[in-house]
Structure 1
Amino acid sequence: MKLSLGPLLYYWPKQTTEDFYYQAVKSEADIIYLGETVCSKRRELKARDWINLAKEINHQGKEIVLSSMALLEAPSEIKVLKQLCENGEFSVEANDIGAIQVLSEKKIPFVVGPAINCYNAHVLKLFVNQGMHRWVMPVELSRDWLQKALGDAEKMGIRSQFEVEVLAHGHLPLAYSARCFTARSENKAKDDCELCCIKYPQGRVTETQEGQQVFILNGIQTQSGYCYNLLNDVDSMRGLVDVARVSPNSLASLNTLDAFRNKLLGGQAQFKLDSLQCNGYWHQIAGLTLQD
């Protein structure tokens, strides 16, 4: 099983972002995803900057993938999408059906990201025929569901044509909206947000009236309040999952990759599980649940 470092979902200063990825090339990640997937107003790194960064950290024994936006709302965003798809060197993670259309027309192999609703083997077959070589399972699905879908894919004769990737650690991206919740939390309009999400490098915590950390606000993206953690579920992933993804939120995410590598190699060390972690979706139970 390989390890991947998913695209950075938060808005960091350019230098902080570049420094993080210069460290990431020394990490246990086999695959590194680069790109803005949440909001096109986040321009500390533009499309050309992401492509140049990919070229800088390439040739370090890592597979580099450029990630596209999950919600396209303007012609300018289509232009950026085409720029990523036409980079000429790196594979692209498509997080919008429009990206799949562009990549398919240009006959460029691609990764289907977790933002795309792909729930059965028939859709997997459609994407394989269009050029998909890796599929990142939607975050809310379970091991049992994955096992059935891959069994159906095997019957269709397509299972060997793509890899399966699962988000194994990080705050889960649950929903996207045309509205910006971070701006709204500061009583700002989306069009006059002053890029306030850069003040929240790990998103903005939202609690219930009872004090439960239920969501993380990240621009137009709503994330799980609890951190998804499948480290102790690695053994149940073997034989089903080809790539385990760690979603970065700080330099500590690189240590998380170390822990997963150790577990994959048979190590016994486990994360100290606490009340702000969960793995319920993998076990087909309530998402906030943490099952030992």
Structure 2
Amino acid sequence: MNRIFWVLLIGLGLAAPFLIYPVFAMKLLCFALFACAFNLLLGYVGLLSFGHAAFFGGAAYITGHVVKVWGFPPLAGILTGTLFALVLGAIFGKLAIRRQGIYFAMITLALAQIIYFLSLQLEFTGGENGLQGIPRGQLFGVIDLSQPLAMYYTVFAIFMIGFLIIYRAIHSPFGQVLTAIRENEPRAISLGYNVDRFKLMAFILSATLAGTAGATKAIVFQFASLTDVHWPMSGEVVLMTLLGGMGTLFGPVVGATAIVAMYNELSAMGSWINVIIGGIFVVCVLTFRRGIVGELARLLRSRS
């Protein structure tokens, strides 16, 4: 089944700009990477964070600023935003990782709200207007990213790199320890593993890749706004992960695609869109408890 999904992922990724609007495809990829990064923490460690919007939106602001004001090329700007998310993830992780369950979730939410407040008040972020007019620039000084196809394949390459990092982390001894912590933390401690250190490493990696997604989105859409850093963004990535299949490799990609597509198709409904998507989510959770990909995998295993 994994081979089928790999073929579909790469094939659809390469063909996407010829099948759908390229900007919409880039949005899908950015949120798919965001959801995959979040799933690394929730699906494989069992830690529910309500603060991932801080890394996603914070990196978007930093990238936008260094590209627009300091004149960084786009790739250097994305790397700067990613580095910011890494440092922020290390700070947040140090403060939150020793707590569990609802306490961990509330600490991450509170810390993320600090970043939201700073984004609202600091001058360089543009406040309620956001940071607008971020130039796409040129990749390696040669490739003009104002061209939709060039920008799309750059985003696709960034997504694949991030996705492969997650894949390698999951299918490594490090990933096996994370799964052991999720399944039975006291037993992992009794085996001699420094559980807090592994949790912190997973948190930092998740935050870093979430920042990469946010930084890339800032270049694609040429702005960063308070929406990127506000707590509903953290809720959306939880929704994407659960809908696609928590703890599955490709589930977050499917979940992100479904949610972004629904928001796009139902945008004419106005404020009712949240009610509709909420209802769809409730039905899916009650019907597909393992998520779309999780249930599909279960059906294939039962038939074989």
TM-score, length basis structure 2: 0.29
User: Would you tell me which structure has more strand in proportion to its own residues?
Assistant: 1
Tell which has more relative contact order, 1 or 2 (C-alpha 8 A, sep 6+): 2
TM-score, length basis structure 1: 0.30
